[in-house]
Amino acid sequence: LEARLEQAAMLKRVVDAIKDLVQDCNFDCNDSGIALQAMDNSHVALVSMMLKSESFSPFRCDRNIALGINLTSLTKVLRAAQGDDILTLKAEDAPDVVNLTFESPESDRLSEYDIKLMDIDQEHLGIPDTEYAATITLPSSEFSRITRDLSALSESVAIECTKEGVKFTCTGDIGNGSVSLRQHTNVENDAKSVDISLTEPVALTFSLKYLVNFCKAAGLSDRVRLCLSNEVPLLVEYGLSNNSYLRFYLAPKIGD
Amino acid sequence: KIFQQQIFKFFLDG
């Protein structure tokens, strides 16, 4: 494997966004790119990352390899990279280590690190293609604000999507709160628009602790997509350039 | 939490 990223910031942000949910992960490398799928310890949330080969320049992967990496270790090493450094990942066939180099675009500084790999026995997760009843695309900063504000009051949020719009509601010891958003097109800045596409009304409840955690990915994309259907996990997607993405899935809370 | 885990299992197993 040899994969060169123009900006180390992308990988730094991706790892930062997932490291509190999952610890030891396989980075599955093949000629289409680098993928990661892992459930959190409690088995109610799932992270799915896809960095397509087009996101790297150049990208070369001659044989499929799984790089078992501890994300705490990776975070320590990535801390040594500046956001605008050029980052290159390298691994041999049947590797013991993954090699990372950080090149400063302005100076002749080159740093190089090896991270020891681990054997991770991870079951393959067959994430199904799902037709969702409701899809909401909104500014990622808005979603972060809603989850942060409501998490101050309660552990859970009810998300209700109808043709009127989407409503986030919480109930806690000190009182209750809600935020409603309507479909809205911002003609000056499309990134600020709220798009809602609905085939049937949906109402589901989720743990805010996880949603707040997912919002650590907000720096990766101006927009976030929420996909909901009754009785299936919520999909929270941050799209990256070149069709790469970071997706989070969270099972709804169900009453009796 | 058991319900949530089961929802995930059904989702992933199709």
The pLDDT > 90 percentage for chain A reads 91
pLDDT 10s digits, A176-226: 999 999 999 999 998 899 999 999 999 999 999 999 999 999 999 999 999
Bridge partners (DSSP) of residue A167 are: A160, A180
| Cα of A244 to nearest chain B Cα, Å | 22
pLDDT 10s digits, A14-39: 999 999 999 999 999 999 999 999 99
Phi/psi at A190 (5° precision)? -65, -25
pLDDT band at A168 (very low <50, low <70, confident <90, very high): very high
Give yes or no for A231 touching B (CB within 8 A).
yes
Give yes or no for B12 touching A (CB within 8 A).
yes
pLDDT 10s digits, A35-63: 999 999 999 999 999 999 999 999 999 99
Give yes or no for B14 touching A (CB within 8 A).
yes
- Token pair recorded at residue A121: 């026995």
- What gap in Å lies between CA B7 and CA A232, rounded to an integer? 6
pLDDT band at A256 (very low <50, low <70, confident <90, very high): low
Q: Strand, coil or helix: what is A45? A: strand
Phi/psi at A43 (5° precision)? 60, 30
Q: By CA distance, what is A253's nearest residue in B?
A: B4
CB A140 within 8 A of CB A224: yes
Q: Using the Cα atoms of residue A149, residue A44, residue A165 and residue A139 in order, give the sign of their dihedral.
A: positive
Q: Look at residue B1 in the predicted model and tell me its pLDDT.
A: 80
- Token pair recorded at residue A27: 């980075």
- Token pair recorded at residue A238: 């941050």
Q: Which of A43, A156, A234 to mutate to test the interface with B (most CBs of B within 10 A)?
A: A43
| Beta strand segments in A42-117, E | 45-52, 59-60, 65-70, 86-90, 97-103, 110-116
The mean per-residue pLDDT over the stretch A81-102 comes to 96
CB interface of A with B, residues 211-230, below 8 Å: none
- What gap in Å lies between CA A46 and CA A235, rounded to an integer? 9
User: For residue A229, is pLDDT > 90?
Assistant: yes
Q: Do B12 and A42 touch (CB under 8 A)?
A: no
CA-nearest of A250, A249, A245 to A35 is A245
On the CB side of B12, CA atoms within 13 Å amount to 21
Bridge partners (DSSP) of residue A60 are: A2
Give yes or no for A41 touching B (CB within 8 A).
no
Q: Do A254 and B4 touch (CB under 8 A)?
A: yes
Closest CB from B3, B7, B13 relative to A232: B7
Q: Strand, coil or helix: what is A116? A: strand
pLDDT 10s digits, A118-147: 999 877 788 999 999 999 999 999 999 999
User: For residue A5, is pLDDT > 60?
Assistant: yes
ipTM field: 0.92
Bridge partners (DSSP) of residue A197 are: A135
- Token pair recorded at residue A163: 């043709």
CB A49 within 8 A of CB A35: yes
